[in-house]
Structures are given as C-alpha cells and as structure tokens.
C-alpha cells in the first residue's frame, strides 16, 4: 500500500502524516488487527512506532490450511509474544484474541497476565477450549475490568473451562458474556449467586449448570439479559431466580429450568421466549406452571417474540390462557417465529382474541419470510 501524496503547486503534501496521533490511535487503530497496525507503520515516518503505544490490541487467527497449520500457529504466537514484549509501558484499553486454531493454553494465560499487568479494561477471548485454560484469578477480581467476553468452543466435545467463584461478585464489571464454560460450583446447597452492582448487560450461552440447584442473577442496573442454552450434556432442572429491576430487554432460548422466579421486571420492554418443552421429560402440569411463571414474570412487556410451539402450548392450557389478558395487558407487538404447519389459524386466533390491544402481529414462516398483520378490530393481511 503506497503513501498517497497530494500536489499543491510543486509542493508535495503528506496528508497521512498530518493526521493527529489521537485520531490514528483512538479512531482508526481500534478497528484494525494488530498485524495490520504494524504493517501500517510503513505509511508514514510518524506512524513508525505508534503500534508500540496503541492501547487496542486485536489479534485474529483464522483456520489454517492443514499442511501449514503448525507454521501458521507458531508465527501467530510468536507475533503476539513480540508485540507484548516490545510495546511501551502505556496502559492497555482492549485485549482481544480470536483464534480458530488450538493454541497452547499456557501461552494464552501468559498473554492475559501481561494485559492485566497494564491495567486492561476490556478482555475479549474467542478460542478453542479442548484443553482446560487456567484463566488468571485476578481476571475476575480487578476493579479496572469493565467488559469481559469469554467465548469458548471445543472441537473435541464439551468445553473444559471452569469458572472460579471469584467471578460471582465483581463490583466494577459493566458488560459480561460467557459462552461454553462451566459455572462455579456454588455453596454447599448448590446455590450460585451472580451479584454485579454495576452490570449493564449479560449474555450466558451454552454454559453447564447441572451441578446447581439454584442459579440467581442479582444485578440492580442490568438492562439487557440473554440466556442462550442449546441442548448439550450437562443440563439439569436448575431453578432460575432473577433480581433485575432495571431490565429492559430479555432473551431466553433453551430447555425448561426447574422453575422460574422473576422479581419486579416492571421496566421490561422487549422479550423473546423460546422454551424447549421436549428436552426434559416433565409432567404437563409442571411444564404449564413453569411457563405460567415466565409469563407472569414478564407481565409488563410491550414487544414479545415467541415460537409457534409455545403459542400452541399456551392455547391448549386453560390455566395459561386465563393468565394471558392480565399478564400481557401492555403488549403492543407480537412476533411468531418457527412457524409450523400443524399450527392452525384457529389456534392463533384463539390466542390473539385474548389480546385486543395488540397493534402489530408478525408471523415469521422462516428467517426470510414474514407475514405481518395489523389489528384494527379484526386481522387483515
């Protein structure tokens, strides 16, 4: 990539070199991979050493060709080592590692320790966890960590990453995402409490919790919560308790828990509920009661997205249908997803008749095909 120069008479103007350092470092570098930043140092003499002071360290390794896998992985690990050892002593704002190949776990741990030493604020990991990664204890206890994303995937089966109990009471973290990890063991009664006084958004996906009897999320400032649990070994009938009075957006996709208890979701605006009724064998009465607890918990919701199977289950239960008018009194928008042929129009009509205040009903036959209705006395297409 050649340096561009604009000519003003006979004078060459180097516009790239004229860019202020703070523009380069804080408005350009955060969106670039570290390899690109180092390569960009040839564009301008002023840029030559800027990579050493950038607080945004993004490292990305795509899947390597099988014939060159070892070479590519070695080069990548060596590059990360050199960047961390040669940079200056300035603090690190973001350390991001995305790798689609299996790296040495000790190497990853060392990189994290270096980032923590320089007061890193945001840590994003997206790596293979076929081998247990001993995450540094202070990753979960330091007050300077604001955002933490731990996305693990395992090419050989279930993730082997086990979170320490120290994660449960971080007083400063504001954004947390956990995917494919085993939640801490909890107390002697199998009760685990996530207590985060400043947390604003939380994502928990594909995490093993079958060893727990009760999982409590206590976050007074939490506004967005996603619980995404594709079925896998390690799920059990754990009770879910939520104390999140500021919650505005709630997404739940996964198997039925042992029970649900939601405290005061009066500020909830949007919810997506997709509970899998066939993952665990439960009596119909137990299933209906669990769903009823969910419906009563999200009573203030204005926008609701639900699968056709759940609508069918609600419509078939006199107990749940009796709850619908009251718990959904503020509902204005409903989207039906995962449309199936055995869900007849009569079932939908029965459900919607309980909700005369709905202004918009969207029927999603597939990800690319939607049928939208507007209720004005009756449904029209």
**Domain endpoint, select from 22, 39, 54:** 54
Tokens found for residue 80:
């990360």
**188 domain residue, yes or no:** no
**Domain endpoint, select from 10, 31, 54:** 54
CA distance 331 to 179: 31
pLDDT per residue as tens, the chain (381 positions): 444 444 445 556 666 667 777 777 777 888 899 999 899 888 777 778 889 999 999 999 988 888 888 999 999 999 999 999 999 999 999 999 999 888 888 999 999 999 999 999 999 999 987 777 778 889 998 999 999 999 998 766 667 788 988 898 788 999 999 998 889 988 999 999 999 999 999 999 988 888 889 999 999 999 999 999 754 544 556 889 999 999 999 999 887 767 889 998 999 999 999 887 554 556 777 788 888 899 999 999 999 999 888 888 898 889 899 999 988 999 999 998 877 655 677 888 888 889 989 999 888 765 445 545 444 434 433
Identify the domain containing residue 360 by its residue range: 302-381
**Domain endpoint, select from 18, 37, 54:** 54
**290 domain residue, yes or no:** no
CA distance 123 to 321: 45
**229 domain residue, yes or no:** no
Query: C-alpha 378: how far from its chain's center?
Result: 39
CA distance 163 to 137: 9
- Where does the chain show beta strands of DSSP type E? 6-8, 11-13, 56-61, 94-99, 122-128, 147-153, 175-179, 191-195, 201-205, 214-218, 224-228, 239-243, 249-255, 259-263, 270-276, 303-307, 333-337, 360-366, 369-376, 378-380
**294 domain residue, yes or no:** no
Q: Put residue 89 in one of left, alpha, beta given phi > 0 → left and psi -120 to 50 → alpha.
A: alpha
**275 domain residue, yes or no:** no
**23 domain residue, yes or no:** yes
CA distance 140 to 168: 8
**127 domain residue, yes or no:** no
Q: Is 225 exposed, middle or buried (0-12, 13-18, 19+ CB in 10 A)?
A: buried
Nearest residue to 316 (alpha-carbon basis) of 287, 293, 339, 338: 287
CA distance 354 to 317: 13
**377 domain residue, yes or no:** yes
How many domains does the chain fold into? 2
CA distance 101 to 264: 44
């Amino acid at each position: 990539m050649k340096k561009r120069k604009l000519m003003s008479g006979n004078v060459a103007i180097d516009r790239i070199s004229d860019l202020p350092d703070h523009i380069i470092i804080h408005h350009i570098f955060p969106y670039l991979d570290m390899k690109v930043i180092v390569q960009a140092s040839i564009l301008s003499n002023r840029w030559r050493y800027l990579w050493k002071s950038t607080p945004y360290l993004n490292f990305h390794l795509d899947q390597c060709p099988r014939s060159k896998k070892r070479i590519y992985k070695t080069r990548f690990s060596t590059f990360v080592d050199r960047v961390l050892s040669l940079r200056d002593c300035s603090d690190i704002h973001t350390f991001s590692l995305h790798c689609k190949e299996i790296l040495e776990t000790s190497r990853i741990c060392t990189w994290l320790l270096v980032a923590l030493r320089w007061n890193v604020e945001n840590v994003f990991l997206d790596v293979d966890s076929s081998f247990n990664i001993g995450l540094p204890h202070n990753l979960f206890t330091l007050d300077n960590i604001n955002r933490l994303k731990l996305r693990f995937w395992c090419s050989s089966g279930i993730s082997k990453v086990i979170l320490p109990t120290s994660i449960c009471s971080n007083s400063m973290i504001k954004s947390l995402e956990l995917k494919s990890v085993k939640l801490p063991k909890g107390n002697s009664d199998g009760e685990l409490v996530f207590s985060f006084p400043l947390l604003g958004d939380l994502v928990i996906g594909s995490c093993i919790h079958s060893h727990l009897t009760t999982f409590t999320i206590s976050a007074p400032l939490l506004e967005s919560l996603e619980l995404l649990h594709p079925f896998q070994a390690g799920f059990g009938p754990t009770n879910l308790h939520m104390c999140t009075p500021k919650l505005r957006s709630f997404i739940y996709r996964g198997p039925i828990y042992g029970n649900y208890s939601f405290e005061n979701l009066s500020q909830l605006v949007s919810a997506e509920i997709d509970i899998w009724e066939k993952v665990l064998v439960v009596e119909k009465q137990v299933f209906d009661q669990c769903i009823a607890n969910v419906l009563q918990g999200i009573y203030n919701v204005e926008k609701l997205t639900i699968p056709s199977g759940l609508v069918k289950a609600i419509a078939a239960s006199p107990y749940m249908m009796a709850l619908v008018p009251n718990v959904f009194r503020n509902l204005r928008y409903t989207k039906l997803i995962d449309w199936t042929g055995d869900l007849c129009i009569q079932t939908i009509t029965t459900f919607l008749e309980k909700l005369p205040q709905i202004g918009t009903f969207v029927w999603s036959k597939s990800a690319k095909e939607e049928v939208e209705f507007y209720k004005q006395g009756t449904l029209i297409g």
